[in-house]
Structure 1
């Protein structure tokens, strides 16, 4: 099976450069809906068998555009929400963004014990996200599954899952709104086939 990890469309928090991690979070802007509709049109002929979304409103609204194109319902799944930033929630200052990046970079370098101030550790993010992916894989052994999630969490999950993705890719591979990462199950592991904006090396 293939798993298409899609970042949600634009939100007011994105425009304000605000750290928005706690569900339900901000909804899509008008532009965000347009981005989601355009992405849905791009994959309209793909063999999508299921569409999942995180518990955040922006992810579910993005997923609705994709699911409706394929006559499917959006399945909301726990565990794939954005990295919980705790005390940094809602902040827009350079200091807050710097703190977020410092902790996030440690995670991409395999220091998963590091924590967002008042928020999650890398270990917690890894445990919940990978458990959700395993549940999806067990339910859908074939076809293409779309999972609408969040930029920070997607980049980490791709690093943890895919044999051909390392921390350097997760660090620099920032996803735009409705950017995506395409993974393919490879035995007990995964291979990354596509990453918006990056050239990947394949085995």
Structure 2
């Protein structure tokens, strides 16, 4: 039996927290109308794939993004708390531009400088984020050998986790994941590969 696992990953569609410039995990933020359209387009993009499971962050915007794909694939959305966005502690939900800048600086330190000790306020370190995300992807690899699945998550947590899992390093910096644009990563039994990092269209 093949151990190869294909995972279509993508960031959730455009959501209210993004358009309102609110920082943090913001678990209850819904998709905008445009975000729902992007989610539907992502499902159509993957219509030719035999999707065996659809995983999403437990955040509302990720579950809403996952729903059209799961419906088309005739599977349930499996919402996982470990796929949520990076936690920023007491600054959660802030619209302060300084907090957003600090959040970007911390993410850069994780991705570019490989310094996972940094955190925003009393939020998560890069070590915490990569540990929980890595656990999810490893579990998916073990449970879906020979299958194709989808994972819907968030820009920062997916970027730092996949940058490390696929050993892409700083190459992913400067090209933030676009909303609801699927890209493929693959597990061959020992190594994760990301053939190409998506760019905004």
Task: Tell me by how many angstroms 1:48 deviates.
Answer: 1.1
Once residues 57 and 47 of structure 1 are traced to their aligned partners in structure 2, the CA distance between those partners, rounded to angstroms, is: 25
Task: Tell me by how many angstroms 1:173 deviates.
Answer: 2.2
For structure 1, list consecutive stretches of 5 or more residues without a partner in the other structure. 199-203
| Corresponding residue for residue 97 of structure 1 | 100
| Corresponding residue for residue 32 of structure 2 | 29
Once residues 16 and 128 of structure 1 are traced to their aligned partners in structure 2, the CA distance between those partners, rounded to angstroms, is: 27
Residue in structure 2 matching 1:71, options 30, 49, 74: 74
Q: TM-score, normalised by structure 2?
A: 0.91
| Corresponding residue for residue 170 of structure 1 | 172
Task: Tell me by how many angstroms 1:187 deviates.
Answer: 3.2
Once residues 52 and 42 of structure 2 are traced to their aligned partners in structure 1, the CA distance between those partners, rounded to angstroms, is: 16
For structure 2, list consecutive stretches of 5 or more residues without a partner in the other structure. none
What is the 5 A alignment of 1:3-14? 3-14=7-18
Task: Decide whether the 8 Å contact of 2:42 with 2:182 is kept in 1.
Answer: no
Once residues 150 and 106 of structure 2 are traced to their aligned partners in structure 1, the CA distance between those partners, rounded to angstroms, is: 28
Give the alignment's Cα RMSD to 1 decimal: 1.4
Matched positions, count: 195
Task: Decide whether the 8 Å contact of 2:166 with 2:192 is kept in 1.
Answer: yes
Distance 1:88 1:170, change over 3 A: farther
Match of 1:194, SS? coil
Task: Tell me by how many angstroms 1:155 deviates.
Answer: 0.8
Task: Tell me by how many angstroms 1:160 deviates.
Answer: 1.2
Task: Tell me by how many angstroms 1:72 deviates.
Answer: 1.1
| Corresponding residue for residue 162 of structure 2 | 158
Once residues 114 and 188 of structure 2 are traced to their aligned partners in structure 1, the CA distance between those partners, rounded to angstroms, is: 23
Greater RCO, CA 8 A, separation 6+ = 2
Instruction: Report Cα offsets for 1:35-87 as digits up to 9, x if no partner.
Output: 10011011111121110011101111111111111111111123111001123
Task: Tell me by how many angstroms 1:110 deviates.
Answer: 1.4
| Corresponding residue for residue 143 of structure 2 | 139
Q: TM-score, normalised by structure 1?
A: 0.91
